[in-house]
A and B are shown apart, each in its own frame.
Chain A
Amino acid sequence: GQNIDQPTEMTATEGAIVQINCTYQTSGFNGLFWYQQHAGEAPTFLSYNVLDGLEEKGRFSSFLSRSKGYSYLLLKELQMKDSASYLCAVIDAAGGSQGNLIFGKGTKLSVKP
């Protein structure tokens, strides 16, 4: 089966570091994405991992372990504007549907002063 799990909600303090975890089970794996979605808006692309390890992009980093079916998104120096939902998505490589993403339900992050 195909399943993606991430915590429903998290709270963190401005200036701190927060790690949002994602575990997945898919019949095939061709990469993992993280998206940010502010309330009432469309998701925006944050990061892409296809090989094991850490990808760093400014204040945001994403880590992948394919053997463990695990990823995390690390946000440093949190700002109030980082309050949003963070969606984990995995490429569905099964059935010839190249490019289709399976999305988790998202983690709603609240950053407090």
Chain B
Amino acid sequence: DGGITQSPKYLFRKEGQNVTLSCEQNLNHDAMYWYRQDPGQGLRLIYYSQIVNDFQKGDIAEGYSVSREKKESFPLTVTSAQKNPTAFYLCASSTGPPWAQFFGPGTRLTVL
């Protein structure tokens, strides 16, 4: 079945540690995105990539890094520089037009 997978579903880390969140898609979509969602807040764009080996900062890229070495994969690293990393992280992919984004199940990161 085609879809987007994210792992793990829940992740706990100690403050000061870097952590990498996985996102894989087999939809053959060119574009991939990372969002962060906090309680009562909308989705905020962290990074996006429209093509392999290229990515762009979103609205809240500070403290995060990404890579796009393969079309299917777009991992997100939450670094120790991110001041408030505890959040629900969502990965999405799209192709277009019309550029509808389809989301993975999300990773809930808690930094202790």
Chain B contacts for A91, CB-based, 8 A? 98-99
A-B contact count (CB 8 A): 52
Interface flag for B82 (CB, 8 Å): no
Q: Are A43 and B90 in contact (CB under 8 A)?
A: yes
> What is the minimal beta-carbon distance from B43 to any residue of chain A, in angstroms?
4
Those of A43-85 within 8 Å (CB) of chain B: 43-45, 48, 50
Interface size class of A (residues with CB under 8 A): 20 to 34
> What is the minimal beta-carbon distance from A5 to any residue of chain B, in angstroms?
11
> What is the minimal beta-carbon distance from B36 to any residue of chain A, in angstroms?
12
**Interface SS, B side:** loop
Nearest A residue (CB) for B35: A103
Interface flag for A98 (CB, 8 Å): yes
Interface flag for B45 (CB, 8 Å): yes
Q: Mark A73-113, 1 if CB is under 8 A from B, else 0.
A: 00000000000000100010000011111011110000000
The answer to whether residues A42 and B42 also contact, given A48-B98, A48-B100, A98-B96 and a CB cut-off of 8 A, is no
Binding site for A on B (CB under 8 A): 31, 33, 40-43, 45, 48, 50, 56, 58, 90, 94, 96-106
